[in-house]
């Protein structure tokens, strides 16, 4: 047993690695809201993005550094604002662009990386070990000329030769690196292997006592959290994590799992954290809603079933003493049975206070007024409006706030007959042409298919629906319906001929009292994201999705 004396640095990469989840594309306003919430949560370092990827990514990182970087709300016990970090490949242009993006943050870090496994060196980079060391040292040296806080990651460290790892890490320490992140890039390692690797590097890397070792584990074998905890036990004092474990392929280490494992075993792990655990559930809901990535019901800590007990034996035990089957109380992570219920007589002040408690207290006056108007409209349709409803309203508003769009949804009419033939008429507003457009369609596959077909006719092109989920927001027959949709372009009708189009997927969600309307709004929202990206491709300003997928540190 050990005493928790060392501070564990929580490095959140939801906005960078998390956004690399297939179909996830967050706009700038969504990123800023999430960044604010992560600051309140107590995150120590926020990896805000990959500035070189696109103009949009650069601007988002710059705004986060400027607007969120100085914030102290909820961080009084920590004593300083969150460090804003940007990712850069080991190239001068990447590093300079990153330095520019984070320049306004009071605390800033450049995170640069280069593959070190023989597999990556031979087949991806086509360089030898000597050139690898040379590039790594040059990158860290340049980064250190801009900031005092430099992190270096040897990509695919989990499959790299250990002696070579110690050598290259020793050299970047000499060059000025302050944090060494050890990625299990492809989720290959087991906890025993990964823990032993961290212990070996801490013991054998020249200058190891001058730096902080960090973990970054992917979940391809379902071992990300276990590997991260093994890393902590063997000397790592920073963990790279995402909310809900979102990320490329099977995802990253989930912050909530690592934090609550340490919280539940305070005398086992030699670290402590400064995360405000009562904000975990709220943060999870925000990220899920804005990213369109649904949290599985049985997800540890934040899944909706995490604190439910259906078995009679379990229910009996919990009623007698909650500790019989609950190792964490729901209140510890912000799950409560008490919700402030608002109605049509609730005023702006009550609504604003609830928005603030849900993590959306910083929206501007115009966006707040739109959200309040939508809240009042919902009150006319529902007797009581609960937290889930308000969160859906706020998420809808943030998704549409200051977002480039080609089309907006106006209305739809649907007729469904008993023989399964459905007819849908859809009206959209063409922003560029400044006029309404409409069309209709008939389908034998139900009303949703008819609506989507009508939308295709309005736009005179087709899209492929690759994911469609519907769920109730809250409880009761009058609950809001939430539609989560992912689309890919149909190459034959694409306006821009680029092979990258066939590999890109875009998703969004929308909520409405009418689930059919919610589906139509979400479909248009996903299509708008696709069209914006196509427009950026034509002007050369688009993020290179295929390239960014390769920076999977």
Secondary structure, 3-state, 48-91: EECHHHCHHHHHHHHHHHHHHCCCCCCCCCCCCCCEEEEEEECC
d(CA 143, CA 133): 15
Higher per-residue pLDDT: 506 or 7: 7
pLDDT for residue 198: 98
Give Cα separations from 291 to 137, 180, 243, 333 (angstroms): 36, 29, 11, 21
Taking residues 85-105, what's their average pLDDT?
98
pLDDT for residue 320: 52
d(CA 124, CA 421): 52
8 A C-beta contact, residue 415 and residue 408:
no
d(CA 384, CA 280): 25
8 A C-beta contact, residue 523 and residue 488:
no
8 A C-beta contact, residue 259 and residue 280:
yes
pLDDT for residue 138: 98
Residue (of 219, 192, 95, 104) closest to 151 by Cα position: 95
Specify the DSSP element, H or E, that contains 110.
strand 108-115
Q: Is the pLDDT of residue 323 over 60?
A: no
Residue (of 483, 469, 475, 478) closest to 515 by Cα position: 483
Q: Where are the domains of the chain?
A: 6-291, 312-399, 407-539
What's the pLDDT band for 400 if we cut at 50, 70, 90? Answer: low
pLDDT for residue 316: 46
Highest mean pLDDT among 161-175, 460-474, 497-511: 161-175
**Residue 198 half-sphere exposure toward CB, CA atoms < 13 A:** 30
3-state secondary structure of 207: coil
Q: Which residues pair with 413 in a beta bridge?
A: 425
DSSP string, 191-205: HHHHHHHHHHHHHHS
pLDDT for residue 72: 97
Q: Is the pLDDT of residue 385 over 80?
A: no
Phi and psi torsions of 76, nearest 5°: -60, -40
- The edge-to-edge listing of strands for the beta sheet with 463-473 is 463-473, 480-489, 506-512
Average pLDDT, the chain: 87
d(CA 130, CA 112): 18
Residue-wise over 76-110: b if at least 16 C-beta within 10 A, else e? eebeebbbbbbbbbbbeebbbbbbbbbebbebbbb
DSSP string, 456-521: HHHHTS-EEEEEEEEEEESSSTTPEEEEEEEEEE-GGG-SS--GGGGG--EEEEEEESSHHHHHHH
Q: Is the pLDDT of residue 338 over 60?
A: no
Q: Is the pLDDT of residue 403 over 70?
A: no
pLDDT for residue 396: 73
Residue % of the chain over a pLDDT of 70: 89
Secondary structure, 3-state, 239-267: EEEEHHHCCCCCCECEHHHHHHHHHHCCC
d(CA 522, CA 484): 7
Q: How many CB atoms lie within 10 A of CB 387?
A: 19
Q: Which residues pair with 382 in a beta bridge?
A: none
pTM, rounded to two decimals: 0.80
Taking residues 460-484, what's their average pLDDT?
85
CA dihedral 171, 175, 179, 184 (to 10 degrees): -40
Residue (of 295, 292, 317) closest to 305 by Cα position: 295
8 A C-beta contact, residue 510 and residue 396:
yes
d(CA 257, CA 243): 9
| pLDDT tens-digit map of 236-270 | 999 999 999 999 899 999 999 999 999 999 999 99
pLDDT for residue 253: 98
CATH number of 407-539: 3.30.160.270
Q: Which residues pair with 180 in a beta bridge?
A: 152, 213
d(CA 465, CA 463): 6
What's the pLDDT band for 543 if we cut at 50, 70, 90? Answer: low
Residue % of the chain over a pLDDT of 90: 59
d(CA 153, CA 146): 18
8 A C-beta contact, residue 272 and residue 8:
yes
- Judged by average pLDDT, the poorest of 276-285, 301-310, 335-344 is 335-344
pLDDT for residue 542: 60
The residue assigned the tokens 């995402």 is 242
Q: Is the pLDDT of residue 415 over 50?
A: yes
pLDDT for residue 339: 47
> In terms of residues, how long is the chain?
553
pLDDT for residue 243: 97
8 A C-beta contact, residue 102 and residue 48:
yes
Query: Pairing between strand 407-416 and 422-430?
Result: antiparallel
User: Do 6-291 and 407-539 fold alike per CATH?
Assistant: no
Give Cα separations from 316 to 65, 310, 311 (angstroms): 51, 10, 9
Q: How many CB atoms lie within 10 A of CB 537?
A: 21
CATH number of 6-291: 3.20.20.70
């Amino acid at each position: 047993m050990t005493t928790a004396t060392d501070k564990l640095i929580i490095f959140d990469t939801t906005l960078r690695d998390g956004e690399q989840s297939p179909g996830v594309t967050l706009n700038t306003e969504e990123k800023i809201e999430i960044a604010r919430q992560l600051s309140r949560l107590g995150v120590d370092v926020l990896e805000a993005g990959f500035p070189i990827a696109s103009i949009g990514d650069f601007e988002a990182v710059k705004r986060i550094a400027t607007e969120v970087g100085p914030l102290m709300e909820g961080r009084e016990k920590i004593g300083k604002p969150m460090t804003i970090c940007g990712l850069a490949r080991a190239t001068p242009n990447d590093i300079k662009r990153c330095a520019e993006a984070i320049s306004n943050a009071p605390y800033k870090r450049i995170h640069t990386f280069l593959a070190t496994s023989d597999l990556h060196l031979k087949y991806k980079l086509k360089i030898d070990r000597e050139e690898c060391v040379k590039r790594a040292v040059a990158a860290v040296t340049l980064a250190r000329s801009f900031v005092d806080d430099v992190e270096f990651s040897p990509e695919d460290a989990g499959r790299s030769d250990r002696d070579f790892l110690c050598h290259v890490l020793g050299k970047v320490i000499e060059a000025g690196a302050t944090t060494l992140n050890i990625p299990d890039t492809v989720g290959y390692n087991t906890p025993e292997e990964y823990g032993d690797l961290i212990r070996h590097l801490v013991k054998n890397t020249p200058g190891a006592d001058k730096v902080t070792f960090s973990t970054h584990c992917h979940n391809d074998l379902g071992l990300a959290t276990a590997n991260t905890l093994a890393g902590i036990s063997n000397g790592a004092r920073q963990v790279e994590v995402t909310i809900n474990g979102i990320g490329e392929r099977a995802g990253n280490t989930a912050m909530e799992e690592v934090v609550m494992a340490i919280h539940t075993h305070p005398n086992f792990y030699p670290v402590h954290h400064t995360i405000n655990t009562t904000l975990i559930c709220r943060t999870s809901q925000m990220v899920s809603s804005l990213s369109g990535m649904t949290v599985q019901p049985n997800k540890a800590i934040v899944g909706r079933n995490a604190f439910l007990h259906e078995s009679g034996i379990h229910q009996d035990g919990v009623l007698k003493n909650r500790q019989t089957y609950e190792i964490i109380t729901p209140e510890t992570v912000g799950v409560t049975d008490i919700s402030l219920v608002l109605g049509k007589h609730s005023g702006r002040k009550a609504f604003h206070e609830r928005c603030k408690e849900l993590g959306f207290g910083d929206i501007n006056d115009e966006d707040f007024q739109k959200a309040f108007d939508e809240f009042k409209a919902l009150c006319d349709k529902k007797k009581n409006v609960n937290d889930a409803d308000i969160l859906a309203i706020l998420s809808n508003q943030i998704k549409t706030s200051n977002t480039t769009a080609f089309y907006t949804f106006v209305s739809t009419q649907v007729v469904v007959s008993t023989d399964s033939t459905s007819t849908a008429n859809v009206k959209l507003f063409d922003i560029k042409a400044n006029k309404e457009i409409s069309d209709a369609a008939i389908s034998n596959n139900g009303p949703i298919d008819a609506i989507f077909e009508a939308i295709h006719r309005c736009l005179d092109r087709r899209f492929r629906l690759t994911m469609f989920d519907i769920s109730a927001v809250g409880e009761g027959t009058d609950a809001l319906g939430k539609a989560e949709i992912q689309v890919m372009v149909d190459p034959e009708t694409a306006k821009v001929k680029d092979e990258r189009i066939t590999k890109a997927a875009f998703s969004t969600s929308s909520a409405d009292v009418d689930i059919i309307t919610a589906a139509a709004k979400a479909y248009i929202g996903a299509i708008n994201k696709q069209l914006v990206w196509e427009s950026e491709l034509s002007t050369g300003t688009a993020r290179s999705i295929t390239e960014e997928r390769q920076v999977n540190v």
